[in-house]
Amino acid sequence: MKNFFFLSTALLICLSVNGQVSDSTNNETRNIRIYCKAQDLENVPYFVLVLDKNEIEFDNEKLGLIDLGWVENINVLKDEIAVKKFGSKAEHGAILIKIKDKNLKDLKEKLRTNRW
């Protein structure tokens, strides 16, 4: 019972952590994202970044590199439609994340610096 309590508390903390850092010298506030990975998901969808007219496959563990303000829209393709478009790698669906044109340079820089 004690182990269950600690495990459930840890999972709740991992799923709900959000914070801010304040830089008093520059009077700036920055958001911090904390991600926890408890276990691998079995039926992970196929993730695609839509950059201008290009579609780029990416790993779901890299989602934290995308600033939410850069997202123009998100489209979800269900199983059969996703397989028609992307093949068997999208058997569990596909999530297409369209990045705003004005943020393409920022995203490319972030991906380059994170060795993606």
pLDDT in tens, 36-49: 555 566 788 899 99
- β-bridge partners, 98: 50, 73
pLDDT of residue 9: 46
pLDDT of residue 85: 94
Angstrom distance (rounded) from CA 50 to CA 74: 9
Rounded to the nearest integer, the mean pLDDT of the chain is 75
Q: Contact, 78 vs 93, CB < 8 A?
A: yes
Give pTM, 2 decimals.
0.61
**Residues of the chain predicted below pLDDT 70:** 1-41, 115-116
Exposure b/e, 40-75, CB count within 10 A at least 16 = b = eeeeebbbbbbbeeeeeebeeeeeebbeeebeeeee
Indicate the domain borders of the chain.
Answer: 1-39, 40-116
Beta bridge partners of 30: 21
